[in-house]
Structure 1
C-alpha cells in the first residue's frame, strides 16, 4: 500500500521546476507544493515516497530501507531549506534555527573521501556510505547543494513561482518568468485575461 501511495504522489506532482536539473536542493524544496482548489502534495509524505525520491536523485542505494523517523528528518530539513530560499527571494534575514539546521546537516558526516587500504591495490580514497548513515549522507549532500545555490552564481536567479497559490521555487531561465511549470504559467495568463475582461482578479 505504501509503495502504491508513493507512485500516486509522484504521478500527481508537477514536473521539476526550472533549475532542478542543476540543483537537487531546489527539487528537494519543491517536494511539497500547494495547488489550486485546496489541493497539495508531499513527495516525502511516507517512508516509501521519501525512499523513491532519494533513489530517483541518486542519493541512496536500493538496499537502504527508510523508516518514518528518516522521512520526518527529510521533511524537517526541507522546511528549513524552503525557509532559507524564501528569505533569499524576499531579501530578508533567515532564522538562526534554519541556518543551524542546514549547517548541522552539512557537518553530520565526513564530506571528503576517506583513506582506505585495499590488500590488493594498497591505499586508496573511498566515499563511505554505510547503510546506517545513508540518510545522513543524503541530507548532507542536499544541505551542501542548498548552500552552494544560496551563495553561488545562481543565487540571483532564485525565485518563487508567481502563480498563486503555488509555493514552489525555481531558477529564472529568461526575462521575468516566474512560473515553475507550464501549468502554472497557463493559469497565470488565464487569470490575467479574466481580470482584463472585467471578471475580477482571479487566481
Structure 2
C-alpha cells in the first residue's frame, strides 16, 4: 500500500515537471534586440495582436543577406496622390542603401528566431530621418512574408503615437513570383500591405 502511494506521488511529480517545462518552452522570450542604431532597429518578438496565428514559423531559417536584399529591392508600392485625377505612381519601398542596411539584420534575425517569433524592424528614411518605415518579416513554408505596417510615416517627438495624414493611401505591388497574403480561401480577402515571396 505504501509503495503504491509513493509510486502515485512519483508519477504525479513527474507529470508536474513535464507540464511545467512544456509551459515554459511554449512561452515567447521578451523582445530580443538584434540591431539598434538611429537608422535601424531590429528585434525578435511575438507577432503583434490582430494578425492571424500562423506559427510555428520555419525558424530558425538560414537565408543569405544578398537574397534578402534582392527581395527588398523588388518590393514596390503604389501610392495615391493628393492632387485629384493625377493617378497612382509605383515606387520602391526600400532604397539600395536602406536594403543594404536592413538585409544583413533580417538574415541574422531569421537565423536566431524561435518558431514563435517574427522579425520586427523600424527603418529611418534617408532624406527625412524623422520618417520611418516599420514592418515584420517571417518565413513560413519556405516563403518569406513581408508586412509593411507603416511606410515613411513621420514620427513627432514628444507625442506617444505616430501621425500621418489619412488621405495618403498606398499598397504593395507583388512582382511576378510574389503574391499578397489572403485572409480567405480562393485568393479572397487580399491584404495589400503583406507580400509573400517564395524562397525555393
TM beyond 0.5:
no
Higher helix content, 1 or 2: 1
Normalised by the length of structure 1, the TM-score is: 0.24
Structure with more contact order per residue of length (Cα contacts < 8 Å, sep ≥ 6): 1
Which structure: larger Rg? Answer: 2
Higher strand content, 1 or 2: 2
